[in-house]
Amino acid sequence: MKLPIFIADAFTTKAFCGNPAAVCLLENKLGEDMHQKIAQEMNLSETAFIRKLHPTDNFTQKNVSSTLTFVTLSGELRVRRGEDDIVLDFPLYPAHPQDFHEVEDLIKTAIGDTLVQDICYSPDTKNLLVRLSDTYNRSFLENLKVNTQNLLQVENTGKVKGLILTLKGESDGQARAFDFYSRYFAPWFGVAEDPVTGSTHTVLGSYWSQQLGKKNMHAFQCSHRGGELEISLRPDGRVDISGSAAIVLEGTLTA
C-alpha cells in the first residue's frame, strides 16, 4: 500500500516554524490500528487522514476558492482559501471570570510567583486562561519556565484540561504590532506545550476582543517554533482564524 503524505508547518511561512502536522491522503478507509501506526511513525502530535467522501472530489485541485467541509471526529471543520492564507471557521467560545483561589495551586505549580493580571475559564473547551501582568513583555513570556510535569499532580477534578498563558501585545518594532501573545500547555492530553494552537484562539479571540474593543486582531504564539494568526470575529458568533502554511515534506508512505 502506497499513500501520498505531506508534512506542513501551519501558521507560518517558514519551514521548521509554526505547528507541524502530517497529512496522509487516502483513497479507501483504513482501520484505526493503521491510523495509529502511521501517526506513531510520523512522530508528530497532529497526523490527519483525509479521505474523499465523493468520488468526484479532487485532492489535486489548485485553485479552490469555495469553502471545503471536513467531517472530523470532533465535528465539521470548514476551511477556505484566502488571498494569501488559509481560513479556518470556528465557533467562538466565551471565557468567564475565574476565582483565583479555586485554581491557585494549579497556577502556582505552573508559573510560581509570576504576576497574574486576570484569570478566566472556558467551560466549552475546559481551558484556563491566565493573563500575565502588563508589566511583562514578549521576551518574558517566551523565556518563562512552565512546570508542566507536576500539573498532573494538582487536584482539579477534571475541570482544567488546558492552560493558556497570555499577554497583552506591544509595539516591538514589527511592521505590524501583535495585539496579544500566548503559549499553550496540555499535559493532561500528553502535550507538554503545543507549538501553535488554532483552537485556543477561539477562547483568546473572545477574551481579547472584549479587552481591546477590537474584532480583528493579529496574534503570536510564543512557543520555541512560534506562529502568527489572524483573528476575525464574525457577526454570526463564529470566528475566522487564518494563517499561512509551508509544506516541508512531500512523499509516499509505504505500508
Please say if the pLDDT value at position 56 is more than 70. Answer: no
Tell me what pLDDT residue 57 has: 65
CB 183 within 8 A of CB 225: no
Query: Over the stretch 160-210, which tens digit does the pLDDT of each residue have?
Result: 999 999 999 986 565 668 999 999 999 999 999 999 999 999 999 999 999
What pLDDT does residue 199 have?
Answer: 93
Residue 46: active-site member: yes
Angstrom distance (rounded) from CA 251 to CA 211:
45
Q: Please provide the CATH number assigned to the domain covering 96-241.
A: 3.10.310.10
Q: Output the average pLDDT for the chain.
A: 91
The DSSP secondary structure of 194-237, one letter per residue, reads ES--TTTHHHHHHHHHHHHT-SEEEEEE-SSS-EEEEEEE-TTS
Does residue 75 surpass a pLDDT of 90?
no
98 is written with which cell numbers? 475565574
Dihedral of alpha carbons 210, 211, 215, 217, sign: negative
Model pTM score: 0.90
Q: Please answer whether residues 95 and 120 qualify as being in contact, where contact means their C-beta atoms are separated by less than 8 angstroms.
A: yes
Q: Is the CB of residue 77 less than 8 Å from the CB of residue 70?
A: yes
Which pLDDT score, from 0 to 100, does residue 44 have? Answer: 85
Give pLDDT tens digits for 107-139: 999 999 999 999 999 999 999 999 999 999 999
pLDDT of res. 97: 97
CA distance 50 to 132: 39
Same fold, 2-75+244-254 and 96-241: yes
Range 42-60 average pLDDT: 78
Tell me the pLDDT band of 158, cut-offs 50, 70 and 90: confident
Q: CB of 167 within 8 A of CB of 141? A: yes
Is pLDDT at 147 greater than 80 in this prediction?
yes
Spatial contact of 144 and 114, defined as CB atoms under 8 Å apart: yes
Distance in angstroms (rounded) separating the CA atoms of residues 125 and 117:
21
What is the fold of 2-75+244-254?
Answer: Diaminopimelate Epimerase; Chain A, domain 1 (3.10.310)
User: So where are the chain's domains?
Assistant: 2-75+244-254, 96-241
- pLDDT > 90 in the chain, percent: 78
Please report the pLDDT score of residue 53 as a whole number. Answer: 77
Q: Which residues are 97's β-sheet partners?
A: 120
Degrees, nearest 5: CA angle 54-86-201: 110
Q: What is the pLDDT of residue 61?
A: 52
The neighbouring-strand residues paired with 181 are: 167, 220
pLDDT at 153 over 80: yes
Confidence grade of residue 54 (pLDDT, cut at 50, 70, 90): confident
Among 27, 32, 46, 250, the one annotated catalytic = 46
**Which alpha helices (DSSP H) does 100-227 contain, by range?**
100-111, 138-143, 201-212
Angle, CA 90 vertex, CA 191 and CA 202 arms, to 5°: 55
Residues 189, 165 contacting (CB under 8 angstroms): no
Helix (H/G/I), strand (E/B), else coil: 139? helix
Which ranges constitute the DSSP H helices of 2-79? Answer: 32-42
